[in-house]
């Protein structure tokens, strides 16, 4: 029976399963290094067993950083009508690709 978990990283929450690869905000870890996540909830897939943290269960989910990269370019445009004001700016958001290995 497999488990699912809700983890918290980078100010966001993610629902993960074992063996799944997720794209999260950039971590300061090197590629191929192990990382543990703050776990908010662990449950079985059939829903019979649920462990809910108040506010957290600790670091029960571990994974491996597979890749550190930048996402596609995002263009931001500021525009004001009738005043000839237009600014264009863009950036590439860094991210980490993490493979979830174990949910305790």
Q: Average pLDDT across each block of 10 residues of the chain; the chain has 104 residues. List them in order.
A: 91 95 96 96 92 92 97 97 97 97 93
pLDDT (0 to 100) of residue 1: 65
Could you tell me if 10 and 35 are in contact, meaning their C-beta atoms sit under 8 angstroms apart? no
Closest of 81, 20, 76 to residue 45, by C-alpha: 20
> Whole-prediction pTM value?
0.82
In three-state secondary structure terms, 37 is strand
CA distance 22 to 97: 6
pLDDT (0 to 100) of residue 47: 86
């Amino acid at each position: 029976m497999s488990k699912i978990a809700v983890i918290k990283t980078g100010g966001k929450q993610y629902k993960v399963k074992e063996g799944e690869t997720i794209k999260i905000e950039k971590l300061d870890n090197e590629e191929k290094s192990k990382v543990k996540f703050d776990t908010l909830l662990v449950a079985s897939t059939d829903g019979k067993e649920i462990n809910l943290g108040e506010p957290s269960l600790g670091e029960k989910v571990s994974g491996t950083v597979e890749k550190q990269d930048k996402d596609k370019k995002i263009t931001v445009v500021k525009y004001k009508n009738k005043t000839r004001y237009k600014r264009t700016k863009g950036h590439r958001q860094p991210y980490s690709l993490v493979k979830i290995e174990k949910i305790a």
